C-alpha cells in the first residue's frame, strides 16, 4: 500500500510536469500536509488562503492563464464542501484545475462518521471527474481530464485504502486531431456567405498560452485581410484588440451586439460556448457554424447549427477559413458598430453630483493604468460598465466569472493573476456585496505584497438585483440594501494601503498613487447607482 505522502508526490509531480507552479488552499490534517510537503519539495509554491472557495477560484484562474492543472487544497468535510462553488466556477468557465482533498478513507468508513461526506458524489457533479487515488495506478490519465473532453476541474481524494475498482471512470478519451482542411460541403457553405461575422469564446481563452497567441494572430490576420467583424465574449476579450478596425465589440447573448449580428448571413463561432451567454432566446436567422476543441453537446442554445467541428488546432482552422471566406464588409465597418453601441451605453450612464457614476470608475482607471494592466471583474451591476468600457488589446487581460457568474470572484482572481503575471498591475473591480463574501482574502493580497488595486463600487446595495426589482419592487430595500461599510478602514486593518473617495479628482489621485507604490491598495469609491437600470437596458434590453 502506498503512503499518503507517496500519493501526494505522484499527484503534485503530474501537475508540475504539465506546468503547474502554484497551489492554493487551507490545509487541515491528514493528507493535506503531505500535499503541502510535496509542493515544497517539487518547487510548487503553496499559497495559504482564508477560504477553500477562494482557493479554488485562484487555482482555476491560474489554470486559465497558464494552461496548467493548478492545485487547490481542502480538508475533508467542511473544506471540501466550501470548495464546491469555486470548483463549479472552473467547470462552467472551462478552466483546468485539480482539487485535492483529505477524506475518511475507505477502510475507516464503517467506523467513522465525523466529517464523513460522500465527497466524490458531491464534487463529481461540478467537475470533469472525481476519483479516489490509492497510488497503485498511473495518475496521468486522471490529470489529463483537466484538458479533455473539455477543460475543467477534477477532484481527487487521497485514500491509500481505496479499492482499485473505484479509481477510474469511463471519461478518459483520446484527443481529437485537427482536420487537414475544411470538407467540401462546409467549405461551400462558408464560401457562400457575403456578410460573415466571427464570435470568439471561452474555448479560445482556455487554450495553452502558445495556442492562444497563434489563434489571436490568425484572427487578426483574417480581420485585417477581409474586414470581417470579429466579436468576443466576456471570456475571450482581447483576442482582437479593441482598437482594431475589425473589432465589432462584445457578445453577451443580448442587446449590445444585436445591430451587428442582425446584419450577418453567417455566424462563425471560434471556441464559442453558450455557457457564457445570457439565456435569452437566440434571435438571429443567419446560419451558425461552430469550431472548437470540444463539441457543444450540452445545449441547443443556437437552435439549428449548420456544423459543429471539433479540432485541436483552432489557429489552423481560422487560417483555412480566411482562404475560402468572401466578404462585402468594408474597413472600419465593425468598429463603427462597436462605437455606436458604446455611445449608446455612455448616453445612459450620466454623471452624478453625489459620488462617482459607475462608468467613470472604469474609464478613469483605464486611462490611468498602463496598457499591460489586468482587470478582474466581479458579478454585479458594475460589470455592466466594466466589461465593455475596459479597453483590452491582448488575451488574458480581462477576467470574469461568466459561466457561473459567481460573486466573490474578482479578488481571488486578482491574486492569482498577480502571481502568474507579477509584471502587470491588477485592477480588481468589485461591488460591496461581492467583496463582503471574500473579505479576508485582502489579508492574502497584503501578506503576499501583490500589486493589486481593489476598487470597490460602494453603494451599500445589491445594485443589479435592485435594478431587476423595478418596477415591481419584490421586497424593497430589505431584500437588497446593506448598512454602510467603511472598506478602507477594513483594508487598513489588513495592513493594506487604502483611500475613500467620492469625486473624480480624489479617485484619480488615489489610482496614480496606488500604481506608483506597487503595493496592494484598496480604493473605496462612493458611487451613485441611479444609472444602472438604464445601463442594464442598453446592454440587455
Name the one residue in this structure whose C-alpha cell is 457553405.
189
Residue of higher predicted confidence among 479 and 392 = 392
> Strands of 398-400's sheet, edge to edge?
398-400, 374-377, 426-431, 452-458, 521-526, 497-501
**In this structure, are residues 189 and 324 in contact, taking their beta carbons and an 8 Å threshold?**
no
Domain boundaries in the chain? Answer: 4-166, 184-336, 349-540
Burial-class residue 29 by CB neighbours within 10 Å (0-12, 13-18, 19+).
exposed
Higher pLDDT: 497 or 531? It is 497
Task: State the cell numbers at 173.
Answer: 478519451
Lowest mean pLDDT, pick from 29-38, 234-243, 458-467, 511-520:
458-467
Given a cut of 90, is residue 538 above it in pLDDT? no
Do the domains at 4-166 and 184-336 have one common CATH topology? yes
Alpha helices by DSSP H, listed for 227-288, are 258-261
pLDDT of 480: 63
- Reported confidence tier of residue 183, pLDDT bands at 50, 70, 90: confident
Q: What's the predicted TM-score (pTM) here?
A: 0.94
Give tens-digit pLDDT for 132-144. 999 888 899 899 9
Average pLDDT over residues 489-501: 97
Q: According to CATH, what is the number of the domain 349-540?
A: 3.40.50.970
Q: CATH class for domain 4-166? A: alpha beta
In this predicted structure, what is the pLDDT of residue 214?
97
Span 281-326, pLDDT tens digits: 999 999 999 999 999 988 999 999 999 999 989 999 999 999 999 9
The CATH classification of domain 184-336, taken from the options 3.40.50.11270, 3.30.70.3040, 3.40.50.1220, 3.40.50.720: 3.40.50.1220
Mean pLDDT over residues 103-115, rounded? 78
Inter-helix orientation angle 358-368/532-540, to 10°: 80
pLDDT of residue 174: 46
Q: Which residue has the cell 479540432?
A: 311
The DSSP secondary-structure symbol of 44 reads P
Report the C-alpha gap between 245 and 236 in whole angstroms.
18
Placement of cell 470574469 in the chain: 400
Asked if omega into 28 is within 30° of 0 (cis), the reply is: no
**Range of weakest confidence among 78-92, 107-121, 249-263, 333-347:** 107-121
**For residues 105 and 91, which has the higher predicted lDDT (pLDDT)?**
91
The pLDDT > 90 percentage for the chain reads 77
Instruction: Give the 3-state secondary structure of 151-178.
Output: CCEEEEEECCCCCHHHCCCCCCCCCCCC
Confidence of residue 175 (pLDDT cuts 50, 70, 90): very low
Nine cell digits for residue 12: 503534485
Q: Is the dihedral of CA 404, 372, 521, 366 positive or negative?
A: negative
What is the pLDDT at residue 347? Answer: 85
Amino acid at each position: 500500500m502506498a503512503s499518503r505522502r507517496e500519493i501526494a508526490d505522484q499527484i503534485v509531480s503530474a501537475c508540475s510536469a504539465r506546468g503547474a507552479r502554484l497551489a492554493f488552499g487551507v490545509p487541515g490534517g491528514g493528507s493535506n500536509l503531505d500535499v503541502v510537503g510535496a509542493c515544497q519539495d517539487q518547487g510548487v509554491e503553496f499559497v495559504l488562503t482564508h477560504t477553500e472557495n477562494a482557493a479554488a477560484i485562484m487555482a482555476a484562474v491560474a489554470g486559465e492563464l497558464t494552461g496548467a492543472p493548478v492545485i487547490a487544497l481542502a480538508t475533508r468535510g467542511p473544506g471540501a464542501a466550501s470548495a464546491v462553488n469555486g470548483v463549479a466556477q472552473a467547470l462552467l468557465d472551462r478552466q483546468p484545475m485539480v482539487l485535492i482533498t483529505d477524506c475518511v478513507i475507505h477502510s475507516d468508513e464503517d467506523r467513522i462518521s465525523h466529517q464523513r461526506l460522500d465527497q466524490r458524489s458531491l464534487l463529481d457533479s461540478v467537475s470533469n471527474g472525481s476519483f479516489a487515488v490509492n497510488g497503485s495506478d498511473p495518475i496521468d490519465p486522471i490529470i489529463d481530464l483537466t484538458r479533455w473532453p473539455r477543460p475543467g476541474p477534477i477532484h481527487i481524494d487521497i485514500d491509500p485504502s481505496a479499492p482499485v475498482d473505484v479509481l477510474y471512470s469511463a471519461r478518459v478519451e483520446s484527443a481529437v486531431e485537427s482536420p487537414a482542411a475544411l470538407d467540401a460541403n462546409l467549405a461551400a457553405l462558408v464560401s457562400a456567405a457575403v456578410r460573415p461575422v466571427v464570435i470568439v469564446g471561452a474555448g479560445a481563452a482556455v487554450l495553452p498560452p502558445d495556442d492562444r497567441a497563434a489563434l489571436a494572430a490568425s484572427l487578426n490576420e483574417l480581420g485585417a485581410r477581409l474586414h470581417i467583424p470579429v466579436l468576443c465574449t466576456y471570456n475571450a476579450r482581447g483576442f482582437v484588440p479593441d482598437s482594431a478596425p475589425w473589432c465589432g465589440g462584445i457578445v453577451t447573448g443580448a442587446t449590445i451586439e444585436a445591430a451587428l449580428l442582425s446584419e450577418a448571413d453567417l455566424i462563425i463561432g471560434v471556441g464559442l460556448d453558450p455557457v457564457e451567454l445570457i439565456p435569452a432566446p437566440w434571435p438571429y436567422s443567419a446560419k451558425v457554424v461552430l469550431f472548437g476543441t470540444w463539441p457543444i453537446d450540452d445545449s441547443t442554445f443556437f437552435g439549428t447549427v449548420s456544423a459543429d467541428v471539433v479540432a485541436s488546432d483552432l489557429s489552423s482552422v481560422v487560417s483555412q477559413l480566411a482562404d475560402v471566406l468572401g466578404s462585402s464588409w468594408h474597413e472600419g465597418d465593425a468598429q463603427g458598430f462597436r462605437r455606436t453601441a458604446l455611445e449608446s451605453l455612455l448616453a445612459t450612464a450620466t454623471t452624478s453630483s453625489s459620488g462617482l457614476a459607475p462608468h467613470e470608475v472604469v474609464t478613469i482607471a483605464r486611462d490611468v493604468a498602463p496598457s499591460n494592466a489586468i482587470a478582474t471583474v466581479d458579478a454585479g451591476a458594475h460589470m455592466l460598465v466594466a466589461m465593455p468600457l475596459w479597453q483590452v488589446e491582448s488575451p488574458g487581460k480581462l477576467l470574469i466569472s461568466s459561466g457561473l457568474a459567481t460573486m466573490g470572484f474578482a479578488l481571488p482572481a486578482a491574486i492569482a493573476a498577480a502571481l502568474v503575471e507579477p509584471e502587470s498591475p491588477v485592477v480588481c473591480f468589485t461591488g460591496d456585496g461581492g467583496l463582503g463574501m471574500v473579505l479576508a482574502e485582502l489579508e492574502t493580497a497584503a501578506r503576499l505584497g501583490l500589486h493589486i488595486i481593489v476598487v470597490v463600487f460602494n453603494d451599500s446595495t445589491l445594485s443589479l438585483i435592485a435594478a431587476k426589482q423595478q418596477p415591481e419592487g419584490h421586497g424593497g430595500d430589505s431584500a437588497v440594501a446593506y448598512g454602510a461599510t467603511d472598506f478602507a478602514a477594513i483594508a487598513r486593518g489588513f495592513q493594506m494601503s487604502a483611500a475613500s473617495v467620492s469625486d473624480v479628482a480624489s479617485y484619480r489621485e488615489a489610482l496614480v498613487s496606488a500604481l506608483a507604490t506597487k503595493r496592494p491598495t484598496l480604493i473605496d469609491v462612493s458611487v451613485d447607482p441611479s444609472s444602472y437600470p438604464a445601463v442594464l437596458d442598453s446592454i440587455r434590453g
